[in-house]
Structure 1
């Protein structure tokens, strides 16, 4: 199999695919299909006043035909109502609206229902996800949204359950564990509805996960089909010919660590072809050397298409062969009908973490183009015919033995924050990150029973307490809102932003583009030119994507607010570049002429750095730094500088006591807050070494703050 073409399945399979795309399979009504309430036909028609699915329509365009709020009057937009949540984690959901009820999910997979006009609470549901589950989730306790179908609402939970609730009451209809295990898999993505089935995958690409996507009967939660994205142990045989073909692109004992390729976001159903297109995550571990991995490692970092009825493989296109940079392809996949080279084409538009805008034929996967939208150095170019990248030899850091500053970095040129396509402007609006990442292969790395399994040395690449280095890193870490001309493969307009990790996009027929940002501003731009027309101070960074709806002819715009996610928890000092790194979790709803006001933000609970003196040896500090880089920095931040959601350990009282740090790290004294025991992988001596490293870092930053007069991190930590 080579990129972009259906091959190796035989003429019979090709014929079956053709029938599935244009014959009776599309019109069939599966046993679990809804005949009232939110139906397949209603989702396909995408009523303009409602927002029924994650991307509003099957094509995931996130474009609304509403225009009551438009470029001419958006300056009159005001706060209609708001709700503050009882959690201070990242908020990534897109609300849904049906029959006057606004539904949303929050951190810890909670579900809320409000009167969409007034904000009155109708019902609330808490799946009671154990806080200990946080150790098995890559990037905060986030949830990106729910799905509506029939008379039910569906949510995937952080601890791997698929739950159906009654739309009117919030009562549980079914609650089923759908992940292979809860140690390596977590669900943060929004389910999709496809012909009476709920389709969803799971995260876990940094653990021991084998990626998959699965369909479940919407009425019962019973599994209907599953498609794995990487092959299992060849000795056990292969589930299908697609897995057999993929196994030829792997070497080593990849299955012992799962393989990766997780489907944690980026799922799109195409009724025109009856295909489900989805993105897959990185191969695991990132550093391929310890697993003896080489080759393309299919179907990781790819777009894959399967038949919606059976889950059978149709085609794939691999965007990042032999991925060693965490270049997941899980970003949103958008379907559009555009004119390319003078011909109308039905295409899939994708702007994944690796920094290119890809255009593929939606039915066959044929590669049409790939164009960088940010600076890129992992590849020296992409073949215009095959779509295969030429890997920069310096980017193979496990072979060179040298650090590699990758552009883009592991945070991605574009991560999960949804893009939007406007058929009125024919522009694709991308929330872009302009940021690098230092990759350095860990020496003598062995897999362990807890934590990330990336084989990357996080201590050697940690941000040093050097003001010149920090200033350079901060200056080179920015973001942008990019309006991409799909037909001409170029930037139509661009708004440069202070930092990365800004919110997802909504475009409307009112010539508007809405986006929240890391500075805590919710902003409206003109869709055709990118002119800033309006903004609202939300008091906290915004990473979620807005949506819009109308009731009685009056249009509303809603957005979830709450700083968090991987950029906040893992990037240390860089997480504070935007200046609004504190978390105030809330839902904001706007309409024309409204005059609502937010309460004053609470004061910061961060005091000055006041660490105990360093008593450890240099060897202890170095050992503790290695352990911190492997087990701690993904939650508590690079170089022990937290982003604002998780505790900043430089400020922790526990580092003043050897016994105190043991109680937390080994005995699990704070397990109910998500800090589980690491005694299965760490000893008492290891815990003490980590403590000495934290003391060392706190003292370094205290001295640096005294020298520069500037705070390093905020120290804010709330659960």
Structure 2
């Protein structure tokens, strides 16, 4: 469905919306290419990780180390959902958009919490049993007057930002076959770019671009190459069709080189003895031409992965100086326990340093990871290795602060036992071929999680904040010298970004947080928002961690909190 050009139709719709209880957002400013390119300095929060570099950093000083203790809750909203709440508030001017589990999209006045409109995507005919790791959604993208959401049944839906009217919707893959979309879209030059998940079900992942105005597919790039494509020979015959490679987190865009970076997930099945070879482009970051989707280069974090060490984690673009040499880098804290700095122009490794106990990926040779053959499971062999498949870091995004030159990493301290099992592919059923159990990291005695700061110029830890509970929330740093993140026991923390000292914690929220905080300014006043709403992979797949009484008793229930001075 395309946008109507009729003023009378628009007026009629607005009148009907008002009668039904909806409100039209006033003074809504279109989100142009220029505004997206300058999102780092915008008063709002225009995209998933604030700007195209995925920095998660805002240049706001209104809330700072001197006055953060004065933060108070100014409004809140209960969603009514008990699943994981993972989306950041996306803000344009004084209009906020946020998504819930099961694809509800709500618009608020960002300064007051006044609800403007609500859209509920129809999932009544979708089973959702094959959606991996909770029925979550990680937010929206903005462009022009429209707001875009990807859905659990593989639609991209465009709605009019001021009114909530559906502009178009396009389904990209069948539902109920083990695929879903949970990521926030990324808009680049009029293209809405999304990726598919489903690596645990033998899906063949892809990244695709849609025309922002019409929803028409402009290009589609599979993450698993066919035999006649570059990288195709890294798979056994026919295996590419069920090779996994989900692209289920939002990518990054380099405006200087016109390059799109996207993380690619684990291969399928998990058991690597069934698919010898490097299995490109799984567990990789791929650099693409955003006009065509063509791959320019790749870097593979874990070749021939057999531990579910997805390479989807966000890549943050930042300039670093390593051992006296300046680099235009991208940095990523990988599931495999290594913090990578990669040259974002040519894809060459600058450095890799451990940020968690990491044994499966044992080192590097000629810039490429080396894995320990003794720690590869088979049908006849169980191994103990670190980190667990949940990773040294899972999807929760890092932030990189240009003032401190630190990356802030929500860290998981787990290991696992893992053993091969027989498996055959069948559409819509799990395609793993391994059994596993998550256990505590014996080398880490301080709990399941931590927040740590890593100096991006060296890759070395600058400070750490240990946590008895897992730390599954995203990171937000600001020019006020602060780092914000939510805890599993239901508080928003404000750390001193330089030292890691806890400067403020919010009053008790109703649930643990796996949310991604964001911040914005309206009429000169700065706000910080975050979801409480425990869920996601940890309580489903967490093994001994999920059985820990303190973790098992974390309350659920979605609740959005907004704070200001």
Q: Same fold (TM over 0.5)?
A: yes
Residue equivalent to 1:301: 283
Indicate which of 205, 230, 234 corresponds to 1:245.
230
| 1:553 Cα deviation after fit | 0.9
| 1:570 Cα deviation after fit | 2.0
Matched, 1:425 2:404: yes
Indicate which of 172, 190, 198 corresponds to 2:166.
172
| 1:456 Cα deviation after fit | 1.1
Q: Which has the larger radius of gyration?
A: 1
TM-score of the aligned structures, taking structure 2 as reference length: 0.91
Partners in 2 of 1:462 and 1:496 — Cα distance?
19
Specify the SS of the correspondent of 1:162: strand
| 1:152 Cα deviation after fit | 0.2
Whether the 8 Å CA contact 1:477–1:500 is kept in 2: the answer is yes
Q: CA RMSD in A?
A: 2.0
Whether the 8 Å CA contact 1:568–1:581 is kept in 2: the answer is no
Whether the 8 Å CA contact 2:329–2:341 is kept in 1: the answer is yes
Number of residue equivalences: 533
Partners in 1 of 2:329 and 2:543 — Cα distance?
38
Indicate which of 538, 541, 545 corresponds to 1:574.
545
Deviation track 1:417-443 (CA, whole Å, cap 9, x = no partner) reads: 01000001000001111111221111x
Partners in 2 of 1:441 and 1:139 — Cα distance?
21
Deviation track 1:510-537 (CA, whole Å, cap 9, x = no partner) reads: 0000010112121110000000011122
Matched, 1:380 2:351: no
Question: Gaps (5+ residues) in structure 1?
Answer: 1-35, 239-243, 464-469, 593-719
Partners in 2 of 1:504 and 1:89 — Cα distance?
17
Matched, 1:81 2:75: yes
Matched, 1:395 2:375: yes
Whether the 8 Å CA contact 2:78–2:560 is kept in 1: the answer is yes
| 1:449 Cα deviation after fit | 4.5
Residue equivalent to 1:453: 431
Partners in 1 of 2:140 and 2:42 — Cα distance?
19
Partners in 1 of 2:260 and 2:367 — Cα distance?
21
Partners in 2 of 1:473 and 1:530 — Cα distance?
22
Residue equivalent to 1:276: 260
Whether the 8 Å CA contact 1:135–1:451 is kept in 2: the answer is no
Indicate which of 33, 38, 46 corresponds to 1:40.
33
Deviation track 1:285-305 (CA, whole Å, cap 9, x = no partner) reads: 00123xx31110111100100
| 1:457 Cα deviation after fit | 2.8
Specify the SS of the correspondent of 1:52: coil
Partners in 2 of 1:151 and 1:495 — Cα distance?
41
Note closer, same or farther for the CA distance 1:462–1:167 as it changes in structure 2 (3 Å cut): closer
Give the alignment of 1:670-709 within 5 angstroms.
none
Whether the 8 Å CA contact 1:66–1:510 is kept in 2: the answer is yes
Deviation track 1:576-618 (CA, whole Å, cap 9, x = no partner) reads: 54545221201100011xxxxxxxxxxxxxxxxxxxxxxxxxx
| 1:100 Cα deviation after fit | 0.3
The structure with the largest helix share of the pair is: 1
Residue equivalent to 1:518: 488
Partners in 1 of 2:502 and 2:282 — Cα distance?
39
Give the alignment of 1:259-274 within 5 angstroms.
259-274=243-258
Matched, 1:351 2:333: yes
| 1:178 Cα deviation after fit | 1.2
| 1:496 Cα deviation after fit | 0.6
Whether the 8 Å CA contact 1:479–1:497 is kept in 2: the answer is yes
Indicate which of 518, 537, 540 corresponds to 2:511.
540
Give the alignment of 1:198-237 within 5 angstroms.
198-232=192-226, 234=227
Residue equivalent to 1:497: 467
TM-score of the aligned structures, taking structure 1 as reference length: 0.72
Note closer, same or farther for the CA distance 1:63–1:471 as it changes in structure 2 (3 Å cut): closer
Partners in 2 of 1:476 and 1:72 — Cα distance?
30
Indicate which of 353, 373, 383 corresponds to 1:371.
353
Deviation track 1:619-664 (CA, whole Å, cap 9, x = no partner) reads: xxxxxxxxxxxxxxxxxxxxxxxxxxxxxxxxxxxxxxxxxxxxxx
The structure with the largest strand share of the pair is: 2
Specify the SS of the correspondent of 1:125: strand
Whether the 8 Å CA contact 1:477–1:574 is kept in 2: the answer is no
Question: Gaps (5+ residues) in structure 2?
Answer: 1-28
Whether the 8 Å CA contact 1:129–1:157 is kept in 2: the answer is no
Deviation track 1:247-285 (CA, whole Å, cap 9, x = no partner) reads: 1111243135x2011100041111111010011001100
Note closer, same or farther for the CA distance 1:474–1:369 as it changes in structure 2 (3 Å cut): closer
Where in structure 1 do 4 or more consecutive aligned residues deviate above 6 Å?
470-476
Partners in 2 of 1:510 and 1:154 — Cα distance?
31
Specify the SS of the correspondent of 1:134: coil
Partners in 1 of 2:423 and 2:401 — Cα distance?
47
Partners in 2 of 1:367 and 1:462 — Cα distance?
30
